[in-house]
Amino acid sequence: MVLGLSGGVACYKSADLCRQLIKAGATVQVVMTEAAEQFITPVTMQALSGRTVYGSQWDAREPNNMPHINLSREADAILIAPCSADFIARLVQGRADELLSLLCLARPVQRVPLLVAPAMNREMWAHPATQRNLAQVAQDGAVVLGVGNGDQACGETGDGRMLEPAELLEEVIAFFAPKVLASRKVLVTAGPTFEAIDPVRGITNLSSGKMGFAIARAAREAGADVTLVAGPVHLPTPRGVRRVDVQSAQDMLVAVEQRAQDASVFIATAAVADWRPAAPSAQKIKKDGSGQTPTLGFVENADILARVAQSARAVDGSLFCVGFAAESHDLLAHATAKRARKGVPLLVGNIGPATFGQDDNALLLVDEKGHRELPRASKRVLAQQLIQDIAARLPPARA
């Protein structure tokens, strides 16, 4: 991959981006404009990339003296990060008076995609000229990755910040991922629920939500329109995923039923509480010194997965339902029984105590034909494998 740096304070982020791209397995060739060298040195980028940095179209190191041809032909993609307002204008005009814009102009358009990560002051970002140029760049075939919102180097606050390196890496990975769920709408639940006993106490479980969030990210990378209904967890929302935060099982039921009407796949990863206090106290329940404990009554929560699986759209095959079972023992027996009881075509089982809060997991996939194991791996890898499996089970997408 060619990582191009144009002039901007956000060049400091490009150093970390380069490191993260290489860690993810990419070979990174850095190309810098003269303006970029005012913010970060080629020496830094060379040390991080492990490759000589290019900056001049007259670079004599190339035997044919044509780095703009050679570098663009060798690349799988060109990522401009940061992409300044000036450089966006250069792309629109097809400028060819320095190496980076010349390289973008000379790239084989059908084979080497161009991704741009804008970075500029909020007023520059909002200016009609910039927005016109961005629209034209996109029309010409580039992928505009958007901007972040927050504090800017000039002291102002607003839109225009370059996305963070981790966000850009996520975008790059999503761009290259096979779109096996293109045109599908996927609804995912994740995390625990919290059932209030009083204003400061409640019943919950140890689910971290990491598996569900990884599945939502993998589904988005596979081209799906993803909605994630999340219980009380502290995880960043995957790029490009629509997030709905809920607390209780009843909240989650309402959120799911509202959105299941439009979904083509429902993946119930959340560890939903089976019961809730029948009469939560409006005030904190206090000890009175008597040694007597309060008596709590419970009622059963609705079975979200079973309710969706029994809906008309699930029954006629318009909605493919996937359940999760977190067990403590006898995983195959419990998962097999749960799949039949819930009436879902696919149930994914795991041992809860061995995975809650962890970054890795092992999954058991159970369907009407039997079962197969996904060996222990990172939840990221398992989520990608699961999405591939689900995609293979779906009927062709309707035109």
**Active-site residue list:** 154
Contact 267, 199 (CB under 8 A): no
Inter-residue contact 308 to 256 (CB < 8 Å): yes
- Distance from first CA to last CA of the chain, Å, rounded? 34
Which residues are within 8 A (CB) of 107 and not within 5 positions of it... i.e. 6 or more apart? 72, 75, 78, 114
143: its two tokens: 């992928």
- Number of C-alpha atoms within 13 angstroms, CB side, residue 10? 27
CA dihedral sign, ordered 326, 330, 332, 338 = negative
- How would you write 59-110 as a 3-class SS string? CCCCCCCCHHHHHHHHCCCEEEEEECHHHHHHHHHCCCCCHHHHHHHHCCCC
CB 117 within 8 A of CB 40: no
Tokens in use for 3?
């990582």
**Which of 14, 399, 3, 378 is CA-nearest to residue 217?**
378
Question: Is residue 161 within 8 Å of 154, Cβ to Cβ?
Answer: no
Q: Where does residue 377 rank: exposed (0-12), middle (13-18), buried (19+ CB within 10 A)?
A: middle
Q: Which of 152, 170, 162, 169 is closest to 83 using CA atoms?
A: 162
